[in-house]
Structure 1
Amino acid sequence: MSDAASFGYAVRLTGLWAAWLLVMLFHVELGLMPLFHGLSVEIKSQVASSRVPRLFLAMLFYFLLPVGAFLVAVHAIADPAGWSASAPWRAAQFWFSVVYSLTNVVHLTADIRIPDSRTDQVLLMAVLTLIGLLINQQAWAWCQL
């Protein structure tokens, strides 16, 4: 494996994960923006109140797992011959990114199908999905080294 090639893929993957995380944060922030103008952001929910803490925990993990992928890619940049740049970890980056891309496609589809969905949120989900597909492409190329 070429250290220069591995380094390049790890750098691009790190940048893409950082962009994905920033857009994800902005998606949430923009979703809550009506609160600052005295408007409600309440969505009719079928989730029982007793299940809300588990939902929050799931969302926390949904956000923290890409942070982990980002950190593993950063480690691969810092130590191209180390464990984080090994074939199993490169493959894990790819399959992890595929799972997240699938969840983004499902979320984007749901947002599009909601009759009163906000255009800004749909646009942000489209950007998240596009960045996710770029992550898939870079992770796949890195995995093939």
Structure 2
Amino acid sequence: MAGLWCAWLLLMLFHVELGLMPLFHGASVEIKSQVSPSQLPRIFLAMLVYFLIPVIAMILAVHAVSDPLGWSNRMPWRMAQFVLGVVYSTTNLAHLVADIRIPDSRADQVMLMVVLTLVGFLLNRETWLWWQG
């Protein structure tokens, strides 16, 4: 399970990096935004939290394996891992649908979101089995 969280994080980071790749070739990555600049700090904070929660989940999953009788391997934490997986899979699926609906979306970004969503579904399966076991 920790490996799936790690894969998910790497794919998310690569999604962001791939989105910025045109900058290295002199192309703009700017999109039309309805967000005012005063709201950007809150958006950046939300993105930071969005990335940190899976890091914490991965640490807890590793801890649960290393200490099977410890607190991180108890039922509430197992359920929390499953719920987090479902929440993140839902947001990834919504992002995938949004990427597909963009008229000039990049195929590489869509493909990466497909893989990311599939990893999320695998994570859901594994956390469900862990929670129920």
How big is the shift at 1:22? Answer: 0.7
Of 109, 113, 120, the residue aligned with 1:121 is 109
Q: Which stretches in structure 1 are left out of the alignment for 5+ residues?
A: 1-12
| Structure-1 separation of matches of 2:64 and 2:123 | 16
Instruction: Confirm or deny that 1:45 pairs with 2:45.
Output: no
| Structure-1 separation of matches of 2:5 and 2:110 | 20
| Structure-1 separation of matches of 2:48 and 2:112 | 19
Alignment-derived partner of residue 8 in structure 1: none
Alignment-derived partner of residue 105 in structure 1: 93
Alignment-derived partner of residue 7 in structure 1: none
Q: How do 1:47-126 and structure 2 match up within 5 A?
A: 47-126=35-114
| TM-score, normalised by the number of residues in structure 2 | 0.99
How big is the shift at 1:78? Answer: 1.0
* RMSD, matched Cα: 0.5
| Structure-2 separation of matches of 1:24 and 1:125 | 8
How big is the shift at 1:51? Answer: 0.3
| Structure-1 separation of matches of 2:36 and 2:54 | 28
Number of aligned residue pairs: 133
Give the aligned residue type for 1:39. Answer: A
How big is the shift at 1:26? Answer: 0.6
| Structure-2 separation of matches of 1:55 and 1:35 | 21
Instruction: Confirm or deny that 1:143 pairs with 2:131.
Output: yes
Q: Which stretches in structure 2 are left out of the alignment for 5+ residues?
A: none
Alignment-derived partner of residue 25 in structure 1: 13
Q: Could you list the per-position Cα deviations for residues 14-69 of structure 1 after superposition, in whole angstroms to 9, with x for gaps in the alignment? A: 11011111111111111000111111000100101100111011011111100010
Moved over 3 A (4+): none
How big is the shift at 1:77? Answer: 1.1
Instruction: Confirm or deny that 1:133 pairs with 2:124.
Output: no
| Structure-2 separation of matches of 1:35 and 1:116 | 17
| TM-score, normalised by the number of residues in structure 1 | 0.91
